[in-house]
Structures are given as structure tokens and as C-alpha cells.
Structure 1
Amino acid sequence: MKKEKDDNLIAQNKKARHDYFIKETVEAGIALTGTEIKSVRARRINLRDGYVQIYGGSAYLENVHISEYKQGNRYNHDPLRSRRLLLHKKEIARLAKAQSERGIAIIPLKVYLKHGFAKVLIGVGQGKKEYDKRQTIKERDQKREIRRKYGI
């Protein structure tokens, strides 16, 4: 199996895996304007507070900040506008069903370029409680200690 290169990784939402148990991931394209894709390629994107909303039979990426393009003029984009995700109808239906469950959120995990197109990896996650977060930190520290002790 070929390992994915991180050369094309644009942005990553590290806080998402800390706050949610990720059950499923889906790759989706993003419908961007010209100045938005230029800003994305310049790595001027923030996924931290982003989420996916499904309405009108389409999925939209909400609250993801893509900075204005520096060389853009009056045609520059709104940094926090809703961006349509390019998914198949079956995928949208599956995500809508998951979103209707209590405690489930659909969040962006990372943005990357694939064959020149911007893609977003979205995850269906269930929120962690405070004790779950502490347990995750404890397990991570134990693994780090084992690696340090045995030189793995």
C-alpha cells in the first residue's frame, strides 16, 4: 500500500482528534473561487472552528477561515463564507443521517491538494467528555515513555 505524501498537505485540524472520536472519514472536493484557491495554495487557511452543515441536498463547509488573497482586488472573497462540498448524493445522505444523531458532529480534519484540486477530509465524530480527553493524554504519555525506555 502506497503511503500518502504530506507534500500537498495544506492545513490540519489537530484539535479535532482531541475533541472528538472520529468514526468515519470522507474525502470531498471544495468549490472555491479564484482568489480562494490562491490563498489555499499559500496555506492561508484555518480549520479550527469549522464544521459541515447539510441543507438543501448539499453539504457546506462553514466557519472555515480562508484569508483574503493579498494581490486580489475588488473581486476578493469573504473569508468566512460557506463553501459547497462536492460529494455524491449517497455520501450526503449518509452524512445527513449521521448528523441527525445526537452528539454527532461533522468536522474538517485536513485540507490538501490532490492532482491540483483542493480536497478536504471530513470526519464524522462524537464529542469526547473531559475524562475521555484525560484518558487519551494518559495513553499517549505511556506510549511515549515506552518508546523512550526501549528506544523504539
Structure 2
Amino acid sequence: MKKHHGKVLAQNRKASHDYIIEDTIEAGIVLKGTEIKSIRKGSVSLQDAFCRDFKGEMFVYNMHVAPYEEGNRFNHDPLRQRKLLLHKAQIDRLIGYLHNPGHALIPLRLYIKNGVCKVLIGYAKGKKKYDKRHDLKQKQMKRDIDRALKERNQ
């Protein structure tokens, strides 16, 4: 997984629970008017967001950006689709990846990098119920081990 450099404004915490993130890619995003002000304020949610191709371009759907309070008539639709800025080769690779059954493109983080809003997109494969239970069991075992080591050292 690649590291990002910047101030994280929104994070999709549920993505790692519902999906196995295989790889990530950084993309720019096209925003209108007061959207960037609202995003910088932290009024954005990636909870149910996903990416899909449309006529050879990639878009983010269901990313909720709350209307900016001081924006009056210049505000935008909170759930509108937003275009991702990627190279053609990257888009072709992502479209090929989407054709695999059980795979999806999920926005993981939204952050500011060098004054520009970026989205970290993950190539994800959906987890089965038993995978989720296994992950929870592993997390609980690690927590128990850490707790036991902490008590032992004191």
C-alpha cells in the first residue's frame, strides 16, 4: 500500500472490514465551486462511495459533500458524481480490474496534498462472512496478547 502525504479530511474506515484491499492508486478529483471549502471544513463522507467507469472516464458515486453554509445559491448537489483525474493507462487498468467478479474500486481516503484535493482509491475484493469473523478473531487474539505482555512487564 502506497503512503500518502497530506492532511486526511475523510477516511472510509468500514472499507477494510468489508473488503480486502489489494492495491491503491492516488487520483485527483474534479470539484465545483464551494465543494472544496466544504471538504476542507471536513463535511464529507466516503461511507457508501464507490468508483465506476462511464464512457472511458472514472467517476466517484455516493460521496457525500455537505453544502457549504456560506455558499447560498452557489451550492452543489451533495451526492453528485465526481470525475476522477487519472491517466488513460490507469483508467484502462482500472476498467479491466472492475470486470473481475467480486472486485470493486473503493475510495479509502480524501486528503489535501500540495494544496490539491486527492482521493486514495483501493482495488478491493469483497470479503465473505467467514473472512470477517476470522479477521475479528485475529484482532481479538492480538489484543489479548498485547494486554498479557503489558501486564507481565509491569
**TM-score category (smaller protein):** over 0.9
- What does residue 82 of structure 1 align with? 81
With normalisation by structure 2, the TM-score equals 0.93
Q: Matched residues in 2 for 1:28 and 1:106: separation?
A: 12
CA distance in 2, matches of 1:25, 1:114: 16
Corresponding residue of 1:37: 36
- 1:88-99 → structure 2 map (5 Å cutoff): 88-99=87-98
Q: Partners of 1:63 and 1:38 in 2: how far apart? A: 19
Q: Which runs of 5+ in 1 are unaligned?
A: none
* Mapping 1:33-72, distance limit 5 Å: 33-72=32-71
Describe how 1:1-152 pairs up with structure 2 within 5 A. Answer: 8-151=7-150
The 1:91–1:4 alpha-carbon spacing in structure 2 relative to 1, beyond 3 Å, is closer
**Secondary structure in 2 matching 1:34:** coil
CA distance in 2, matches of 1:55, 1:32: 18
Contact 2:21–2:124 (8 Å) recurs in 1 = yes
Q: Distance in 2 between matches of 1:50 and 1:144?
A: 30
Counterpart amino acid of residue 126 in structure 1: K
SS at match of 1:74: helix
Supply the distance in 2 between the matched residues of 1:91 and 1:138 (Cα, whole angstroms).
Answer: 36
Aligned partner letter, 1:53:
R
Deviation at 1:34, TM superposition (A): 2.3
- Give the drift of 1:144: 1.1
Report the Cα distance in structure 2 between the residues aligned to 1:47 and 1:4, rounded to whole angstroms. Answer: 17
Partner secondary structure for residue 28 of structure 2: strand
Give 1:150 shift: 1.3
> How many angstroms apart in 2 are the aligned matches of 1:74 and 1:63?
22
Moved over 6 A (4+): none
Q: What whole-Å deviation, never above 9, does each CA across 1:1-57 have from its counterpart, x for those lacking one?
A: xx7666x11010010000000111000011101200000000000101000011111
